[in-house]
Amino acid sequence: MEGIDLRLSDVDPPLPDPKRTIYRDIYNLPDPVILGMTIRYFNLDDVTLYFQITGSGAGYTFTPVNLGSLGSGTNAYINLDNFVSRAKPSAGSLTNGELDEQITLTLNAYTDAGYSILKWTFNRIVSVKFINSNDPAFTVDFLNNFDDGTIQGWAVANEQNNFTAGGYPSIAVSNAFSLSAPYSVRMEQACVSGTWVVRARLYKSFATPNRTHVYAIMNIRSTQVYGGTEYLKRIEIQKDGTLLIYLGKGGDYVASHYVPINKWMRIVVPLPSNTTVEVRIVQEWYGNNTGFRLYMDDFTIVSKN
């Protein structure tokens, strides 16, 4: 076993890391395309190491990030927001609405705080799949844009420490933020007096089409209710109870955001075909007698053979 490891999953070494693919829908995306991800890195050595993450790939630009020190036998999560960029693929460069590429993530470990004495290097290959949901190859099976002024079948549920007696988490349409005017759907969370880690989910069930490739595309945005005293810790995308996407890291009481707030993020996940699945968007944060909101707009399921 090497002295360090890099994962994009919750599987611990020495078990093999499952194959990971980053999915991106280029329709209406700005140019260049920005890739963000949450990584988990391990110090399997017997000394403290200083970690740096970078990468490579044809046509991709990486911004190296110094991650600081990590003690022997420990691991850490970090969300890398504007870590990778690439010129937006043209619609014509996709075949049948899809384009498959690969990037290499490189984790370097140093024995000094100046990042000059390199001890370990670990490479992990990650697949990147671009789709164009507007391509004629795809069928739009579901579109929830909430522009009829209803929540279109979505619901919310408390998972931890929401002020349920006050009606939280709550769900409603909102015109505060939207990608397709006038409305998006909003989940609002609140905790009771005291400092809490708070978690809730926005969810809906879908009967997926009987086609070979099925993708769910969602645009989400997290905001503080009061500002300054709430901190976003993680976002999860789940299929039923199965974790598909993990951004950030588990809630703690550090006054820091682990996932970007006040910006739209587009997330694409594959779904199984010809079955009923519940899509869940889980938001976790911490605060003291405060709240957090999650907006979603233009949720789409597309498919093709």
DSSP string, 182-218: T-EEEEEEE--SSEEEEEEEEEEEEE--SSSEEEEEE
Task: Report pTM.
Answer: 0.94
Range of the domain at 32: 4-131
pLDDT tens for each residue of 150-173 = 999 999 999 999 999 999 999 999
Number of domains in the chain: 2
Same structural domain for residues 149 and 235? Answer: yes
CATH number at residue 211: 2.60.120.260
Same domain for 214 and 122?
no
**pLDDT at residue 10 in the model:** 83
pLDDT, tens digit, 9 for 90 and up, residues 91-114: 889 999 999 999 999 999 999 999
- Between CA 235 and CA 239, with CA 238 as vertex, the angle to 5 degrees is 165
Task: Round to whole Å and give the CA distance between 48 and 60.
Answer: 31
Interval 180-206 mean pLDDT: 94
- Give 240-291 pLDDT, tens digit per residue: 989 999 999 887 889 999 999 999 999 999 999 999 999 999 999 999 889 9
Co-location of 225 and 146 in the same domain = yes
Q: What is the pLDDT of residue 1?
A: 58
Last residue of a domain, one of 79, 97, 131: 131
Say if residue 88 is in the same domain as residue 184: no
Q: What are phi and psi of 57, to 5 degrees?
A: 170, 140
pLDDT at 250: 84
- Average per-residue pLDDT for the chain: 95
Task: Give the pLDDT mean for 170-183.
Answer: 97
Give 58-90 pLDDT, tens digit per residue: 999 999 999 999 999 999 999 998 899 999 999
Q: What percent of the chain has pLDDT over 70?
A: 100
